[in-house]
Homo-oligomer: A and B are copies of this chain.
Amino acid sequence: MRTSIATVSLSGSLTEKLTAASRAGFDGVEIFENDLLASPLTPEEIRARCADLGLTIDLYQPMRDIEAVPEDEFARNLRRARHKFELMDRLGADTVLVCSSVSPLAVDDDALAAEQLGRLADLAQDFGIRVAYEALAWGRHVSTYDHAWHIVETAGHPALGTCLDSFHILSRGSDPKAIEDIPGEKIFFLQLADAPLLAMDVLQWSRHYRCFPGQGGFDVAGLVRSVLHTGYDGPLSLEIFNDVFRQAEAGPTAVDARRSLLVLQETVGIAAPPASVAPTGIAFAELVTPDAEPLSAVLGALGFARTARHRSKPVDLWQQGEARLLVNTGTAVRRDGTGLAAIGLESPDPGAAARRAEALLAPVLPRRRAPEDAQLDAVLAPDGTELFFCATDRPELPNWRADFENLAQAPAPGHAARIDHLALTQPWHHFDEAALFHRSVLGLHAQESVDVADPYGLLRSRAVTTDDGSVRIALTVGAAPTDDTVHAQHIALATDDVVAAARRFAEAGGRLLPIPANYYDDLAARYEFADGELETYRELGILYDRDAHGEFRHCYTPTIGRVFFELVQRDGGYRGYGAQNAPVRLAAQHAARRLTGG
């Protein structure tokens, strides 16, 4: 099916919007009137630009406050409509969206609405234009899709049909099932939007919080199935009013948009990208650093041994148990200091995983490797992290480990068994995209978002995981766009004895993040501990949490560049990430930064 996007969904000038829609692979656009008004291009130039970009103009929108008004007012509306039809003729657009009236002049008279919409359709027909009538969720007298359809049916005009918008239908809690009673050829257009489930004024909700399908709480797929059932064969078109997208660059937003439609099409069974291949573990995490010394000191104290070195690149492999970290000191490393740059995802079928990622518009990374290196497929996540699909020591597959030459040091019998989770700061404008990306491209499951109070603003955090917890990534985002680079990334290492691991870290010269004594007084108030247990936590700086399933103990290293490490002990099936303790940890990190002037 053809895909389309309303220009209001993207930021920038009309030219920028059209270019972004085309590059992301959309087939067409809805031209939002205000974008046209503000454009220095004539309608003919816009038409030519769209043609050059391979875009059809699927809809001109919106016309407002047309129907069910006194005759003199309707005469003015027809005059206005004629101007717009002439414009659409120049533009080469053959369908116009008419929203149900919100005018105080409109009366509650379906027969009058049908009669006037019929006369509008008469005029439209003269221009070869079709009128798609849509119920706004906050329309004055017409606010449900079945009501709008009833009026269209009453008018019985060949140039008059209905436009369905998933937001207007689902935000009111309407059952989309009755869509199946509408003849497909009378559904002139289908606009899709999702939204988070907010209890708020529907107009404000619609104008500021819409999001792409799969990024909110609506069953957009269910609605689309009902529409497809009618035989509708027009475009699937996204109309998203969103305050964040308005500020974000149009290019990435358009890609995010089309990915959401691809996933929706897969869900409803009208597209079949390569199947999802969920990862089975984290093969490695790659750190880049201009100066390996501070990182080496912390890794050594954590129990990692430098076990191997890449044959052709300045990359060391540090290992303990199944936890593997690459430390890259190459010249190509980013200039913004020490950071987490890449993740190796252990994949049952790396090639298939990469094919799905590419089909879902993940940017494929060029393979920069020496001739003898293993072939590794990699794509870029929305936050710029490189994701490698790889296999570790599986004879049937190219082994990334084979690119490394072993050093004298054998893997230590360390304290940490594996990487428990990774936490990655996401770009502020792309947090919802990040969750959908990790779900759809990587086959992970997204948990609920949680808010965490940092001393200087609220953070949001959302975990994406495999069912068995073998891969856990916490996507975090700061309070404002400026925070993108402020907040740290971290690598959490799983241990089955965090006290022993913390002690050995301290004995090896490591210094854990100091946690205020007040925190432990509060723990004592909330829980009962075995004798001496709390004193041990207090001494070492270990934090404690509990959920319905089990217990969680964790502590933190200092931050190096943008990265710090966490030692975590999960017992009894604890499922969280210690969010309860995050405000204390964040405040302690701010305090440590003030001390070091960082």
Contacts and interface: CB of A to CB of B under 8 A. Distances in A.
Interface stretch (A216-224, A301-309, A586-594): A586-594
B514 A40 contact: yes
A13 interface: yes
A87 interface: yes
Contact of A583 (B34, B84, B457): B34
A200 B204 CA distance: 10
A525 B38 CA distance: 16
Interface in A333-385: none
Contact of A37 (B37, B458, B584): B584
A37 B516 contact: yes
Nearest to A63: B525
Contacts of A522: 33, 37, 83
Given A37-B516, A38-B587, A43-B518, A457 B247 contact: yes
Interface in A439-456: 453-456
A38 B519 contact: yes
The range of chain A's interface size is 35 or more
A201 interface: yes
A1 interface: no
B588 A38 contact: yes
Contact of A13 (B243, B521, B587): B587
A12 interface: yes
Contact of A84 (B80, B247, B525): B525
Given A34-B453, A200-B201, A455-B38, A526 B80 contact: yes
A394 B410 CA distance: 90
A275 interface: no
A479 interface: yes
A480 interface: yes
Contacts of A456: 11-12, 246-247
Nearest to A521: B87
Given A246-B456, A457-B247, A481-B480, A36 B198 contact: no
Given A38-B516, A39-B516, A479 B83 contact: no
A192 to B, nearest CB: 21
Interface string A236-269: 0000000100110000000000000000000000
Interface string A512-555: 00101111011011100000000000000000000000000000
A97 to B, nearest CB: 16
Contacts of A409: none
Given A247-B480, A521-B83, A588-B38, A455 B13 contact: yes
A454 to B, nearest CB: 8
A39 B455 CA distance: 11
A479 B200 contact: no
B13 A590 contact: yes
A42 interface: yes
Nearest to A205: B200
B479 A482 contact: no
A43 B198 CA distance: 40
A588 B38 CA distance: 7
A199 interface: yes
Contacts of A12: 455-456
Nearest to A82: B525
A521 to B, nearest CB: 6
Nearest to A453: B34
A334 to B, nearest CB: 21
A11 B457 CA distance: 7
Interface in A23-81: 33-34, 36-43, 79-80
Contacts of A481: 480-482
A475 to B, nearest CB: 19
Nearest to A591: B40
A358 B581 CA distance: 43
Contacts of A526: 80
Contact of A243 (B83, B84, B201, B457): B457
B83 A518 contact: no
A479 B587 contact: no
Nearest to A17: B455
A157 to B, nearest CB: 22
Interface of A: 11-13, 33-34, 36-43, 79-80, 83-84, 87, 198-201, 204, 208, 243, 246-247, 453-458, 479-482, 514, 516-519, 521-522, 524-526, 583-584, 586-588, 590-591
17 contacts: A11-B456, A36-B518, A37-B516, A37-B522, A37-B583, A38-B584, A41-B516, A42-B518, A80-B526, A83-B521, A83-B522, A198-B200, A198-B201, A198-B204, A199-B201, A246-B479, A247-B456
Given A13-B587, A42-B517, A208-B458, 5 more contacts: A37-B519, A38-B516, A38-B519, A246-B479, A480-B480
